[in-house]
Amino acid sequence: MSSYTNAPMIAVTLDTYMASNYSPPYLQAVTAGNSIGDKVKWTHNPSELTVCMTSSKQDFPGSIDSCIKITSVEDLDVFAEGLLSRPLLMDAKLTLRLWRHEYQVNVFVYLNTSHPVIKSQILVALNQARNFLSEGQPFSIEINFNSVVAAWVDYCDKTKFRLSSYSGTGASIEITNAPLFDDCPGCGSDAGQGQTCLVGCCYCLFCPISCPIYLIYRQMIMASKKFYIQANVKHVVWINNSPVTADFVKLKFTRNFLSHTSVATGVKTFTGV
């Protein structure tokens, strides 16, 4: 457990730097991929690590959905215990917008949910959900880590143009007691797929009609609150399941979005902040 308790509050790792020899604690590779950049499929013990993926879900068969259906206080207590008693691994897509152009990079976000700074903020969100449940109020609570990661990248990029901006998607969890949008024809019955329909990732013919209606329905009957987690973020590479802090890459306005240089250890090191 020491690897977890000694981990940064929020550790960000580029997806290309995740390999079987370079992975966070409690995560095991089930396919080949010993070199950085190799494609790997992963497995984990849910009692040691919570994995919640969106775009990388196919590589993490044990991933939970990012939208959690809660029907009772007991359900919420079980979810809270799991969320706060073990680390949380998520993926996120960081987007740089520069005039008419967009550049994207995928990262993994390792969250030390036992850290008092993060735990206290998550508890505020969970207590709000508890209040809504007690009142019998339909609700949606979002615990969002995207904004703090995007703000950190923005801070790291000392060379960015004034008209550029950063945003992040994927690293958030929604807790709701409302019906999930999981019956859209063409979107499949999986709740996670249904949720992606709402953000325009699905091209089902029924979505232009059904999605806006569903969103209006939710806004009319539900209490919605977003909690933007604030914490220190570090860029790390994982060596022998331990975090090694690395300076984040200096951003370049190229199609690759990121540039980097190799060092003798075989791990990448970065210039910049």
Confidence at residue 86, expressed as pLDDT on a 0 to 100 scale: 93
Please check the confidence at residue 50 and state whether its pLDDT lies above 90: yes
Q: Residue 91 phi/psi, 5° resolution?
A: -115, 155
Model confidence at 25: pLDDT above 70: yes
Q: 243 forms bridges with which residues in the sheet?
A: 238
Side-chain half-sphere exposure of 9, counting CA atoms within 13 A? 17
Highest mean pLDDT among 13-22, 107-116, 241-250: 107-116
Contacts of 47 (CB under 8 A, 6+ apart): 86
The pairing of strands 10-14 and 139-144 is unpaired
The DSSP code for 42 is E
Query: 228 Cβ partners below 8 Å, 6+ apart?
Result: 144, 147, 148
What's the pLDDT score for residue 125? Answer: 97
- Per-residue pLDDT at 14: 82
Of the chain, the end-to-end C-alpha distance in Å amounts to: 29
3-state helix vs strand vs coil in the chain, percent to 5: 30, 30, 40
**pLDDT tier, 32 (very low <50, low <70, confident <90, very high otherwise):** low
3-class secondary-structure state, position 259: coil
pLDDT above 70: percentage of residues in the chain: 66
Residue that is written with structure tokens 């969103």 in the block: 215
Type of residue numbered 267: V
Place of tokens 């994927």: 170
- Quote the crossing angle between the two packed helices 116-135 and 73-85, to the nearest 10°: 170
Distance CA 112, CA 117 (A): 10
pLDDT band at 253 (very low <50, low <70, confident <90, very high): very low
* pTM summary value: 0.76
From residue 244, alpha-carbon distances to 37, 149, 225, 236 in Å are: 18, 18, 35, 5
Residue pair 269/247 in contact by the 8 Å Cβ criterion = yes
Q: Answer with the residue of higher pLDDT: 55 or 76.
A: 76
201, exposed or middle or buried, with CB in 10 Å at 0-12, 13-18, 19+?
A: middle
pLDDT of 57 strictly over 70: yes
Task: Tell whether the model's pLDDT for residue 90 goes beyond 80.
Answer: yes
* Other CB atoms within 10 A of residue 5 CB: 10
Instruction: Inform me whether the pLDDT recorded for 111 exceeds 90.
Output: yes
Residue 7 in contact with residue 110, Cβ under 8 Å? yes
